[in-house]
Structure 1
Amino acid sequence: MNKDEWFQVLESKVKNASQGKIAKELGVSTAMLNQVLHGKYKGNIDTIKNRVEGRYLRHHVQCPVAGEISVDTCRDNQVRPFSSTNPQRVRLYRACRGGCPHSQLQQTAVTQRIDVQSASDSRYNVEEQLAFCRRLAQGDPQHHIELLERELQKVANRLNTSLWDNKWKGK
């Protein structure tokens, strides 16, 4: 097994606490954690990798519905079953299956995956994001307005972060 950063962090956490405690924090079984640590896990290693990256390395993605979320929360949202009891869960379900660039699921809500700029690219492509919002809204004007409000909030957060960074870099 390649000792990537996430694996080194996992080993370090287990050294400072019990396997049971770390497994509970990550939401996996102690047996799974033990097998991963010893290179004997036969399942999909990405499950625990995403959990370690989200929980301990603070890797985040920009969710079109929920804003900035950890990669493990993103993955959890993708595998949740459909439930109409909460409007946000409905929007998450649709987004995860409808072209979200972070989703690892097969698309069902739209016919083409929407390419967006990588997180390291600071350019913001308005046309792509508007097309994404239109596709997710699927003709529902109220949902389209909600998506645009979230998108505007995301842009404002990026601008404020950039302005703050520039203010303190100059000092």
Structure 2
Amino acid sequence: MTRRGFNGDDRSMADKAVLAWGDAPDWIVELAVLVDQVGLKAAGARVGYSAGAISQVINRKYAGDIGAVEREVRAAVLAPTVECPVLDTISREDCLSYQAKPFSSASARSALLHHACKTCPHARQQKGTNNA
């Protein structure tokens, strides 16, 4: 989904954020992880900025109001609650906790959560690994 390899650069956006920022702020890290999961265009749409602007922010080259971008990222990506496709509104911490749990057939809800987390827009899992 991401365009790794475009222009000969195979690094993830998370890697690029670390290179550009060093000890990157939490919202930059989360934005880069989101881009690696869904791509620049989708991440930009989610926070209300163009793909180019998002790339510039992650690479620490954005000339615009970085504070405004931070506010939008915090609202869209780091919100205290998220909309879960199974449980409706839940805390971000609960969301990350459910994602970290292995599959369980102990209850229908557990099974539903496990499967929903794989495709949820809030998921931090990538290719079978858990980044929560």
TM-score normalised to the size of structure 1?
0.33
> Larger Rg: 1 or 2?
1
* Between structures 1 and 2, the one with greater strand share: 2
